[in-house]
Amino acid sequence: MSSSIGTLFRVTTFGESHGAGVGVVIDGCPPMLELSPGDIQVELDRRRPGQSRIVTQRKESDTAEILSGVFDGKTLGSPICILVRNENQRSDDYSEMKEKYRPSHADFAYDQKYGTRAWPGGGRASARETVGRVAAGAIAKKILHSVGVQVVAYVKRIQNIEANISALKVTPEMVESNIVRCPDQKAAVEMITLIESVRKEGNSVGGVIECVAWGVPAGWGEPIFDKLEADLAKAMLSIPATKGFEVGSGFAGTYLTGLEHNDEFVADSAGKVTTTTNNSGGIQGGISNGMPIQFRVAFKPTATVMRDQNTVTTSHENTVLQGKGRHDPCVLPRAVPIVEAMASLVLVDHYLRQLALSNRNQNLA
């Protein structure tokens, strides 16, 4: 299992959905950063189950305890371990899962790979694992803020209801102004109605989250294999339920010609260079070019549904799985802080990598 990501800002998550708890160790966080449990809690609360009527009603306070790496309210430069104890474990909801593989879940694949599986809940494959990511992302965000970078994600589309707004006009306040985290209030109302409707049917829906990183200076990202967009793609596809990633013009850009697609450079009177369009999504050759970094992530409809489905038993016999228990009819509202967290982890890692490069001519004296 690979539960770590990052080169200099190295994040390792741990924990199963129905074990003692979930958490994260962050190694490589710079010292002297002010950090309190509240800094982390605010992001965990955005991810928390039970936060609104359109998400799962599982009750978890998701209270963060900082076990290490912070002294007198500031980071030490040593590993920061954050633990969130599990609270609301109704394992009986999951008894059927011991014997039957849930369609489009990871149960079957885990059994094939490991020969074992924590069957109550999704175990390690549960979205609960993302608690650690969001906690680490909260720290990454603080570092990024200190150098003028802000990461904002929002729900762009739920099934076929799409926000009618430019990503470049979306503010964090607009995102948090409604429970579906869509900055277009009219679309938000429709999305909420849709999600409530599919929940009543025991069904689920997916959609698209868009994310913009503001203020990233030119020069972040490592050419060839750790290109900025490559690391973002990996980070996004590592989030449960994701099926696609596109940066800048994305798949739609493939319908343009080169002359239409190219981003022309222009210099202002002060010599500052920008591009007149941003089909590149702020990244060229794997390196940020100073324009906003912009990408989208596709989330499939939640695999957990409250309806009967054909499947097989762990003994490989055909059977029917009954839908019951609690579920997220749509993961996107809770996935917004996860997308922001993963983007922040990638960015802060490349920020630190670039520091090593850009400052090499200065002695450490």
For the segment 258-317, give every residue that binds its own copies (CB under 8 A). 258-267, 271-273, 275-276, 279-281, 283-290, 298-305, 307, 309-312, 315-317
Binding to its own copies, residues 165-194 (CB under 8 A) = none
| Closest separation in Å from C-beta 173 to its own copies | 25
Q: ∠ CA(344), CA(350), CA(354), 5° rounding?
A: 145
Q: Given candidates 64, 97, 125, 135, which one binds its own copies under the rule CB under 8 A? A: 125
Query: By rule CB under 8 A, what count of residues binds its own copies?
Result: 167
Which one, of 298, 241, 294, 274, lies nearest residue 122 by Cα? 241
159 scored as a contact of its own copies (CB under 8 A): yes
Contact assessment for residue 229 and residue 286, using Cβ atoms and an 8 Å cutoff: yes
| Closest separation in Å from C-beta 48 to its own copies | 20
Position 343, amino acid: A
x/- mask, its own copies, residues 223-262, rule CB under 8 A, reads xxxxx-xxxxxxxxxx-x-xxxxxxxxxx-xxxxxxxxxx
Residue closer to its own copies, measured from CB, 173 or 255: 255
CA-to-CA distance for 133 and 346, rounded, in angstroms?
12
| Closest separation in Å from C-beta 170 to its own copies | 19
Binding to its own copies, residues 34-73 (CB under 8 A) = 65-71
Position 257, amino acid: T
325 scored as a contact of its own copies (CB under 8 A): no
CA-to-CA distance for 103 and 100, rounded, in angstroms?
9
| Closest separation in Å from C-beta 176 to its own copies | 23
Residue closer to its own copies, measured from CB, 38 or 173: 38
Half-sphere exposure of residue 257: CA atoms within 13 angstroms, side-chain side: 2
| Closest separation in Å from C-beta 24 to its own copies | 9
361 scored as a contact of its own copies (CB under 8 A): yes
Residue 174 CB contacts under 8 Å (≥ 6 apart), including other chains: 154, 183
145 scored as a contact of its own copies (CB under 8 A): no
| Closest separation in Å from C-beta 195 to its own copies | 11
Contact assessment for residue 231 and residue 310, using Cβ atoms and an 8 Å cutoff: no
CA-to-CA distance for 235 and 230, rounded, in angstroms?
9
CA-to-CA distance for 139 and 291, rounded, in angstroms?
24
322 scored as a contact of its own copies (CB under 8 A): no
